[in-house]
Amino acid sequence: MRSQIKLHILLLIAFSFSVSAHSQSIPDAQKILAQRGEVYFQFEPADFEVLDQIARVISVDEYDPQTGIATAYANKQGFERFLSFKLDFELLTAPGLAAHKSQFNMLNEVDVSTIDAWDFYPTYEAYESMMEQFEELFPHLYERIEILTLPSGRKLIFGRITADVEEENERPKFMYTSTMHGDETTGFNLMLRMIHYLLNGYGEDDEITWLLDNLEIWICPNENPDGTYTTNNNTITGATRGNANFIDLNRNYPNPVLVPEPDMQPETEAMIQLVQSYPFVLSANIHGGIECVNYPWDSWKSWEKTHADHYWWQYVMHEYADTARYYSPSGYMDPWGPSFNNGVTHGGDWYVIYGSRQDYMNYYAHLREFTLEISNTKLLPTSQLNDLWNYNYRSLLNYMKQSLFGIRGRVTDALTGEPVVARIHLTGYDTHNSHVYSHAVHGTFNRPLKEGTYDLLVSADGYPDKFIPCIEVLNHHTTWLDIEMGIEASIVIVDQGKVVLFPNPAGDRFTLQNLTGNEYIRVLDLSGKVIKEKNASSTSAVIPVVSLAPSLYIVEIKSSHQTIRKKLQVIR
């Protein structure tokens, strides 16, 4: 969790300490550190500059601009550095210890084929078993993937979900993970339930079927099992924020402003290796402790630097929050504070942190990730889990769909048809590594975008750059580009699926259908030379090509509002 703005009972405590009280708290903090490896406390920074300096050495967790009180976690090294600021502080009961174990229905055995209520947390063994059972029950839709085994024996496990999962596919890849902080467990249950929901909905629910037919969804319900099961594998009572080494994983990633000091943790390394190996388009990281959606950047305030997709982020984040607010009681996703707009915030405007996974994914991995803060309570009682699912599952599905919108396409070699790894850059728009790349295996790329008109520059080693101007994008729609590198005249085949060309390959003629009756049609060779021209006066047109040599050509259909280009293969 990043911060909680709403006033809560802790803020009823007067925040004034004497030097003697401060000194007396230090031995108590040291005792807690020896027992749990991390301490939880609150303090009052003099201003944002001081808060920023403190955030560089400990994990600031909450900040209330109305009271000026910050809440934080620290391990031994971080706490010693905090003491150098000579600020008064008050020790607090850690969230993992605040809730009584009677609030948690812990199940040691779960049969995923018969689940009818999701009011539980699994023990660690039950969690592993559930992830295995999904594969046994749905072998054509689900693959269990372990990306890391920790020294404790616990594992980072993903479920990979898509239609015909055994077959290689070029579908866009999407990722949800939860519980990066071990004591923020609401998303842990909800992501297990999302896996179950997707698998059981395929072939039964049109929306779910469409998603799995068009998307490859990766879900890791628990990214920090050592933190969640700190006490033992049978309970989440006593869960810690940090991992087994008492490191906050959400301050451990490479950062464009400040290099994190702690050694990179195995959980961090595993996630970096994953996104370097697979071309994810979108992702979200689920936390708890407040109710909001947090989009990039964490490392800068918006008046210092914004993401190139700042307005796309606002559009998509409000879609998430507004939908959740509609299906929940008044007050959900409604934190107080000047940096929040109906549950949506730019991370750095809330307060700056360094080493977040969100900023790593957006800056270094060339995908889009936001941080979902799903519940005010970190270790949510199991009796309330069903409510949080009902508030959020529609929004969770809507965000997945965004992977399929914007500009998508394929980059290939004009002569061989082989895929080409290319840099896809929107000129006059992309900044701070917001460009994307086409995939080496399929040549495909995906660039989510807000509605508008964009100019695109495609660059690849061994090819001249290709400039594609005036690409129209609509919200919740896809503009598809087939881009062939090596064509001297920079012919780009744009196909938005409106005009039908058949047969293809063609022998002596081809037909165009779904015209408006007011198009200008040209046939060009790959050098851009015009071979044939015709004005269409009806909704279909027949174009003879018997005089053309067998080869690949471009059919260009121009109207007053768009130009569509399609590939045509002429054979004999």
pLDDT digit string (tens) for 169-197? 999 999 999 999 999 999 999 999 999 99
Q: Which of 84-88, 146-150, 313-317, 334-338 has the lowest mean pLDDT?
A: 334-338
Q: Is 533 a catalytic residue?
A: no
Residues 291 and 356 in one domain: yes
71, 42: one domain: yes
Domain count, the chain: 4
- Looking at the fold, whether 64 and 136 belong to one and the same domain comes out as no
CATH number where 553 lies: 2.60.40.1930
Within a domain: residue 119? Answer: yes
In-domain check, residue 481? no
Q: Which residue has the higher pLDDT, 497 or 427?
A: 427
Q: Are residues 275 and 159 in the same domain?
A: yes
Report how far residue 306's alpha carbon sits from residue 345's, in angstroms, rounded to the nearest whole number. 12
Taking only the tens place, the pLDDT of each residue in 34-75 is 999 999 999 999 998 999 999 999 999 988 888 999 999 999
Do 234 and 366 belong to one domain?
yes
- Verify that 299 and 430 share a domain, yes or no: no
Single residue among 358, 387, 404 that ends a domain in this structure:
404
Asked if pLDDT for residue 280 goes beyond 50, the answer is: yes
Both 204 and 138 in a single domain? yes
Q: How confident is the model at residue 141 (pLDDT cuts 50, 70, 90)?
A: very high
Task: Show the tokens assigned to 375.
Answer: 């519940």
Query: So what's the pLDDT on residue 565?
Result: 81
Across 411-423, average pLDDT: 94
Which residue in 373, 484, 519, 556 is the catalytic one?
373
CB atoms inside a 10 Å sphere around CB 351: 22
Per the domain annotation, does 479 fall within a domain?
no
Q: What is the extent of the structural domain holding 353?
A: 101-404
Domain CATH code at residue 445: 2.60.40.1120
Is residue 482 included in any domain, yes or no? Answer: no
Q: pLDDT band for position 562 (50/70/90)?
A: confident
| Same domain as 517, residue 456 | no
Q: Which backbone phi and psi does 430 adopt, to 5 degrees?
A: -70, 135
Asked if residue 3 is part of any domain, the answer here is: no
Q: From the centroid of its chain, how far is CA 199?
A: 20
Same structural domain, 382 and 527: no
Instruction: For 41-110, give the DSSP string.
Output: EEE--SSHHHHHHHHTTSEEEEEETTTTEEEEEE-HHHHHHHHTT---EEE---HHHHS-GGG--EES--
Contact 371, 287 (CB under 8 A): yes
> Quick one: 221 and 281 in the same domain?
yes
Q: Is 410 helix (H, G, I), strand (E, B) or coil?
A: strand
| Residue 123 to residue 267: CA distance in whole angstroms | 20
- What pLDDT is stored for residue 9 in this prediction? 32
Considering just the CA atoms, what is the radius of gyration of the chain in Å?
A: 27
| Structural domain contains residue 480 | no
pLDDT exceeds cutoff 80 at 209 = yes
| pLDDT at 230 exceeding the cut of 80 | yes
Residue 541 domain-assigned? Answer: yes
- Got the DSSP string for 344-383? EEEHHHH---SS-HHHHHHHTS-SEEEEEEEESSSS--GG
So what's the pLDDT on residue 495? 56
Condensed to tens digits (0 to 9), the pLDDT of residues 478-537 reads 999 999 998 654 445 555 557 888 898 898 899 998 888 888 999 988 767 889 999 988
Cβ contacts of residue 123 below 8 Å, gap of 6+?
106, 107, 108, 233, 234, 235
Please state the rounded mean pLDDT for residues 345-366: 95
Average pLDDT, the chain: 91
Looking at residue 186, its pLDDT comes to 98
pLDDT, mean of residues 98-125: 94
d(CA 516, CA 559): 8
126 with 83, same domain: the answer is no
Residue 120 lies in a domain: yes
pLDDT exceeds cutoff 50 at 218: yes
- Which whole number is the average pLDDT over 307-335? 97
Q: Does pLDDT of 16 surpass 60? A: no
CATH number, position 381:
3.40.630.10
Residue 16 belongs to domain with CATH number: 3.30.70
Q: Which of 356, 375, 404 is the last residue of a domain?
A: 404
For position 19, what pLDDT does the model report? 36
pLDDT higher than 90, residue 312: yes
The stretch 94-123 carries a mean pLDDT of 94
- What is residue 496's predicted lDDT score, i.e. its pLDDT? 56
Residues 517 and 463 in one domain: no
**What predicted TM-score, i.e. pTM, was given to this entire model?**
0.84
